[in-house]
Amino acid sequence: MSEEKNDTLLYGLEQKIPPLPAFFSALQHVLAGLVGIITPPLIIGAALGLGEWMPYLISMSLLASGIGTFLQANRVWGIGAGMICMQGTSFAFLGVAIAGGMWVKGQGGTPQDIMAMLFGVNAVAALVPIIVSRFIEPLKKIFTPIITGSVIALIGISLIKVSVINWCGGEQAKDFASMSNIALGAGTLGVIVLLSCAHNRWLRLSSVVVGIAIGCLAAAFTGRFHFSGAGDVWFRLPALFPFGFQFNSAIFLPIALVSLVCILEAVGDLTANCLISRQSIDDSAFRSRLKGGILADGISCLVAAMLCAFPNTTFAQNNGVIQMTGVASRFVGRYIGGILILLGLFPPFGEVLRQIPIPVLGGATMVMFGCVVAAGIRIITQKPLTRRDMLIVGLAFGFGMGVEAVPAFLTHFPPIIGNLFGSAATCGGVVAIVLNLVIPEEKSAATAAARSNDDRAESL
């Protein structure tokens, strides 16, 4: 890889990285994504009355995320994007998973029946991204920079909302948005930004870890952080389908549709990852990465279902960490996968990390999620926007942010519509795809594109 392509990266995509900086970099990815991994099983478990099995569900979510991340980084037999693509539990499945579980509960099912049904259906739904990954080439007209860039920016905007809520203390906090919470998050954010701007590579590599550590110390000194132990279970061995396997087509259909929509988000995240890692997003190598990345997403979801964890997807959070630290080496992905696997097998590690004060995590993730929005805008503006492009981007952002800001907009639609289009990324992404297919291209733009292709062919 040329120096020109690596001018803002400490370690390029294929560059080997020493163990110590690799570990520090990996730890920052884990800290950025940890809350995202363990929150969905907490929400679903609480809604369906699975409290007794909550620790097991959290451990298996961490284990499945580690296995999926390891697959993405290594790219063996065409499985994986060959980049730092952290896998984590997808929030997109919350609505359909809770609705499916409630249906089983309404039929007189026990908590074990609920889990057998949900994980059985999720295992079959994992075939959706696996099959779609084989047809990425014909779909390249759909996944244009305008669409993928819009989806990435909308994902980042949604994540910023989560970050601000955490910064204020968490949704159910009694002292929500208190000055102490705001100050704690601001101090953490300030340290991270300061270290990220440093010329010393060690300070950049450890910026998130140091920022969170200082935030925890500040919380401890002000009496807002009390360590409550590491739990009683020191090792948890996984089992395949421990609650059995059940299937119902009525529950499968909405989950399969959400799986299809999640592919669009994954394509956006993978595109941003390529761009930040200084890789092309307009050649056969890029399409090969997409194919491998979506395939690994599907296999990761299958592994998650077998271990009794909810479906995985490629996280956008790690794109912000790559941009902050300047470390794009895919070998860091192996360390991330290893750390997550250890957290899953040894619950005390996860229990310790879970006790990090919420405002500290909110402040730490703010800058990362902001970088995700910037990456999306950067993809959209790679070429000058035509009037057609402006219309597509404007309506995609309008619908996406509108639904995100006013969820009640979908109240009187069928529940499946609310589940599918309730997030900014999916709603805005679908709007962008439809408009891109319906609105005819401007003649001048089409002619310029054809001339550009001819010129490229002549130069080759």
pLDDT tens profile 144-160? 778 878 877 887 787 78
347-354 and 54-74 helices cross at what angle (nearest 10)?
100
CA distance 372 to 367: 9
Task: Work out whether the CA dihedral 6, 78, 368, 379 comes out positive or negative.
Answer: positive
Residues 270-317: pLDDT tens digits?
A: 888 888 888 877 777 888 888 888 999 999 999 999 998 888 888 877
Q: How confident is the model at residue 1 (pLDDT cuts 50, 70, 90)?
A: very low
pLDDT of residue 310: 87
Q: Are 32 and 166 in contact (CB under 8 A)?
A: no
Q: How confident is the model at residue 405 (pLDDT cuts 50, 70, 90)?
A: confident
* Highest averaged pLDDT of the listed ranges 6-10, 304-308, 352-356, 370-374: 304-308
Report the chain's mean pLDDT, rounded to a whole number.
Answer: 80
From 123, 67, 390, select the one nearest 259 (Cα to Cα): 123
Residues 196-244: pLDDT tens digits?
A: 787 776 777 677 778 888 988 998 888 877 766 666 677 778 888 888 8
CA distance 221 to 231: 24
Q: Which two tokens stand for residue 177?
A: 């948005």
CA distance 300 to 314: 10
Number of residues assigned to the chain = 460
Look up residue 297 and give its amino acid. D
Q: Which two tokens stand for residue 155?
A: 């994902």
Q: Are 88 and 39 in contact (CB under 8 A)?
A: no
pLDDT of residue 455: 47
Q: Taking 60 as the threshold, does the pLDDT of residue 177 lie above it?
A: yes
Q: Taking 70 as the threshold, does the pLDDT of residue 322 lie above it?
A: yes
Q: Taking 60 as the threshold, does the pLDDT of residue 93 lie above it?
A: yes
Residue 88's φ and ψ, nearest 5 degrees, are -155, 165
pLDDT of residue 460: 34
